[in-house]
Structures are given as C-alpha cells and as structure tokens.
Amino acid sequence: MNTSKQVKVGVIGVGHLGQHHVKHFASLPGADLQGIYDLDTTRANKIAKQHKTKFFNNVNDLLSICDAISIVTPTTQHAEVAEYCIKHGKHVFIEKPIAKTVAEADHLLSLTKKNGIVIQVGHIERLNPALLALKDFELRPKFIEVQRLAPYTVRGTEVPVVLDLMIHDIDIILSLVNSPVKNIRASGVSIMTNSVDIANARIRFENGTVANLTSSRIAQIKVRKLKFFQRDMYVTIDFLLGLTEVYRAIDSDTKVSNTLVTAPLDNNGRHRSIVYEKPPVKKIDALRLELTNFIESIQGNAKPIVDGEAGRDALEVATNIQKMIIEDIH
C-alpha cells in the first residue's frame, strides 16, 4: 500500500512474550493497537488494563477491526491461529517457530501467497544489535560454532529444544551461509521432559561450510554465543552481552587504527599482522525493531527481515535435526 497510514493491529496470546508485543504496539507510531485476545481471560484482562487497551472474549470481534495480528500463542497453536487470521485477510506476525511441522508452514505460505498477505516470523536474534554490528563486513563463514543454553523452565517445553532454542541459531546460520544444506549429523538427550532437552548438530553446507550447534534448556546460566571463522577473519558474538569482536589478519604495511594483537608475523609468505576491533553495537530493542519492520512491511515501506520463507526454511532444518536425533536415540 506504500503509505504511512497507521496499521490497526491486535495481539493473540499475551503470556510471557505476548505482553511485550502489546507494550510495543501500544506506543509504535505506525501501529494503532485495537486490542488483545487470550484463552486465559484473567490474564488478558490484566494485560489490557496495563496497556490501556481492550481485551476481547470473542476472537472474531478483534479480527473484524484489525488489519494485522501478532500471534504469540504456544508453538503448537501457531498454525491453527495463523490460518484463521490469514483466511480473514489479516497480515500476520508469527512468533518463532513459524509452526510445528513443515507441512503446516507450507500451507500457511500458500495461503498468504493467494491472499497477498504479509507474513513475518519472530526470529528476533536476526535483529540482535550484536549481529547487526557486522553489517559492514563481508561475511563468508567457513566454520561456525554456536552455543545456546538456558536454565530450565516449563515454558517452551511443548516442543523439543531444537524447535525452541536451536532454531534461533539455525535461522542466523542460514542467513550467514549462502548455500544449500548438504548433510546433517545430530544427537540429543532427554533430561527433564519426555522430549529432547539437550541437542548437538553438525550441519555441512554444499559450499563446504560447517556449523556446529549446541542447545540446552538445562543449564546454570544463560549462554548465547556464536563464533565463526573465515579466510583471515575470526568473529565472536555474545548475544546476551551485546558484544561483537573481530580479529583480522592484514598485510603488516596496511595503515590501520585498530589494536594490534600480535607482533607482525610471517604467514604464507606474507608479512602479516592480526588486528582486533569491536564494531559498535547500538543500544536498540530488537523486538521493537522487529515489530516496526512488520508495520512498515504492511505499509509497503519495507520488506520483512525474516519472512515466511525464512521461517519455513529454519523449521525444515530444525525438524530434520530433530528427526535425526530421534533416529539416533532408537
């Protein structure tokens, strides 16, 4: 529509994360929050009061006055709720993962294509300022190592850890590596739930890149770290601290203002130095940025940074990893 007209938006599911969607939509200039819906009416009432919006007992009443809906229900409900919204002609922001199966995701994508609807998926780490800090670097990772650990909580355990935590890293890796997946090796264990709580996967891409991912929902403290190596460059990102560090090998006679890490050394017949830099990480709220991107995409002024296809592709890799873990266990 290419306009700055406010988008009338509603939120379905106002639990732990949904309340933050409500908070942002209540104050985003491009959004006109119409209200919220949740099966838990006590919770919906409380969140509506907090953010001075309405809660609806009937989802159709909310849909009838909205252009767009943010779906923040548990993952098992994403496909059903999204299908209902899309069939009512609403643009949808679906929290990650897009759905619990690839078949569900494909069905949603086919519906949005038919209806010309914006579909965006909440892979929020793609908008983490620590990752965005690398936008001026040419990234061609050859080896990626990533760890995502979290203390145990019941929330999210309706799906295996691969679909809850590892999928964040799968999405980031697919966005960094511009090549199809060649093969996957994976294993995992159940510790607290009847599903997989700790998982490790190694993804090899057609271009030779290898990614090694570990996710666990049984940990003392949260860890979200990604490292990658490419020709003459080593990058480490701490998503929690918002810290990005880059080490680069350059010719020793190159003039730079960066800190030298080593004395010049001879490497591959060249006189080289290793320099360290800390690209500035902006203090921005990734959820606010993500929801702004959704509103601007509906207005026709942007494209979703994580669109439905990207959400579907991350889910496909995640479900393949999960399948492999189950085969490995049995």
Binding residues (CB under 6 A) for ligand NAD: these are 12-18, 37-40, 43, 72-75, 77, 81, 95-96, 122, 124, 155-156, 164
Please state, in angstroms and rounded to a whole number, the distance separating the CA atoms of residues 303 and 297. 5
Q: How far is the CB of 164 from ligand NAD (least distance, A)?
A: 6
- In this chain, which residue has its C-beta nearest to ligand NAD? 15
Nearer to ligand NAD, 5 or 155 (CB): 155
Q: How far is the CB of 223 from ligand NAD (least distance, A)?
A: 15
Nearer to ligand NAD, 240 or 275 (CB): 240
Q: Residue 83 is inside which H or E element, if any?
A: helix 78-87
Q: How far is the CB of 81 from ligand NAD (least distance, A)?
A: 5
Nearer to ligand NAD, 162 or 233 (CB): 162
Q: What angle do CA 38, 53, 74 make, to 5 degrees?
A: 25
Nearer to ligand NAD, 10 or 13 (CB): 13
The residue whose two tokens read 């049995």 is: 330
| Burial (Cβ within 10 Å: 0-12, 13-18, ≥19) of residue 213 | buried
The residue whose two tokens read 């017949």 is: 269
Q: How far is the CB of 80 from ligand NAD (least distance, A)?
A: 7
Q: How far is the CB of 287 from ligand NAD (least distance, A)?
A: 8
Nearer to ligand NAD, 109 or 167 (CB): 167
Q: How far is the CB of 251 from ligand NAD (least distance, A)?
A: 41
Reply yes or no: is the peptide bond before residue 97 cis, omega within 30 of 0.
yes
Please state, in angstroms and rounded to a whole number, the distance separating the CA atoms of residues 282 and 265. 34
Buried b (16+ CB within 10 A) or exposed e, 287-314: bbbbbbbbbbbbbeeeebbbbbebbbbb
Nearer to ligand NAD, 164 or 169 (CB): 164
Please state, in angstroms and rounded to a whole number, the distance separating the CA atoms of residues 251 and 29. 48
| Burial (Cβ within 10 Å: 0-12, 13-18, ≥19) of residue 52 | exposed
Nearer to ligand NAD, 72 or 118 (CB): 72
